[in-house]
Amino acid sequence: MENKNIMDYETVELDDQENALVIIDQTKLPGKTEIIRLKTAQEMWDAIYLLQVRGAPAIGVAAAFGIYLLAKQIQAADYEAFYSEFKKQKEYLDSSRPTAVNLSWALNRMEKKVTDSKDKPVQEIKALLRKEAIAIKEEDIRVCRTIGEYGLSLVKPGDGILTHCNAGQLATSKYGTATAPIYLGEERGYHFHVFADETRPLLQGARLTAYELLSSGVDVTLICDNMAATVMKNGWVNAVFVGCDRVAANGDTANKIGTSSVAIAADYYHIPVYICAPTSTIDMNTATGAEIHIEERPAEEITEMWYKERMAPEGVKVFNPAFDVTDHNLIAGIVTEYGIATAPFEESFREIFARKEEAKGKIR
């Protein structure tokens, strides 16, 4: 165990025998690699809310495994009673993080498996839920690798890449989204120079992105968020790659707070910004970023979480939104597993989803 690299661990895993959702507690990284086993709905809800598991794709996978395990424990023998309890558990898990669309996407997909199987015995429905949850994880790995291939086509060997927050392996099942081009490039000798924003207030860039890239041998330099414009001005950045938690139909994207500032600076210095987003993150029912609900988190994350002593005066007001919305006009492309969407995004998304449907037809 001592010789294991952080990249050797599964971000989200199912232990069916022990009825446990197994995750790395990301709030303890990089100081300690602690694997935790979640068995109750409360434990799963807390893990998602407290960011023990985080990153849109990883949250989706965790939710799929979680709702399967909770469904497995439902004692009801008839469909109506089973579905009623399933629905309660699903809605409870769905309330843990409102901005990350992959949470509701995965849970809705699992619910559809239940409603499509209402004529089947409850035990068979449970088996189908297990199969669907595993499929969601396997798809996540394929999606991330494909996003990496498309993203890699946008840069060249030796480029400087800036990223914000963590859209790496720790945010997905493997490869990450925004880091997938970096990992694939590393495998192929591209030797990128990566700048990782620290990402206040929860420091996902410092604790997670810098940690996993360094562990993988990537040339990574950690910077504070307010240094991004300086490294851009110095000519050290050729492209910005970030992930996101929700994409609106017009191409506005919600990502970790500070992403919008990065995009504004990049626009000023004529550096392209690419959002790496699985199609499951694109919400065509949300017209613009103005309609995306932004979660506000506890004040303690800013005033005292990372300090030995409180660093802000008692009683000061704190505004702590978890995300901001980057305007579609600042985005050069949205990299999905079915191609790169460009402006006008709504039209581009229609083409992307048409390709997705075509691919589904071929698989069938």
Annotated binding site for substrate: 54-56, 97, 204, 255-256
Residue 289 buriedness (CB in 10 A; 0-12 / 13-18 / 19+): buried
* Residue 352 host element (H or E): helix 345-363
Best CA proximity match to 283, nearest among 100, 142, 139, 90: 100
**CA 200 and chain centroid, separation:** 17
Rounded CA separation 225/196 (Å): 9
SS (H, E, C) 249-306: CCCCEEEECCHHHHHHHHHHCCCCEEEECCHHHEECCCCCHHHCCCCECCCHHHHCCC
- CB of 343 within 8 A of CB of 249? no
Report the distance separating Cα 2 and Cα 4, nearest Å: 6
Binding residue ranges: 54-56, 97, 204, 255-256
Q: Write down the residue that tokens 């060997």 correspond to.
A: 157
User: Quick check: helix, strand or coil at residue 319?
Assistant: coil
- The answer to whether the CB of 291 falls within 8 A of the CB of 248 is yes
| Active site residues per annotation | 245
Residues 6+ apart with CB under 8 A from 155: 161, 181, 185, 190, 192, 238, 239
Query: What are residue 220's DSSP bridge partners?
Result: 194
Residue 314: phi and psi, rounded to 5, are -60, 135
Token digits of residue 118:
């209402």
Distance CA 149, CA 119 (A): 42
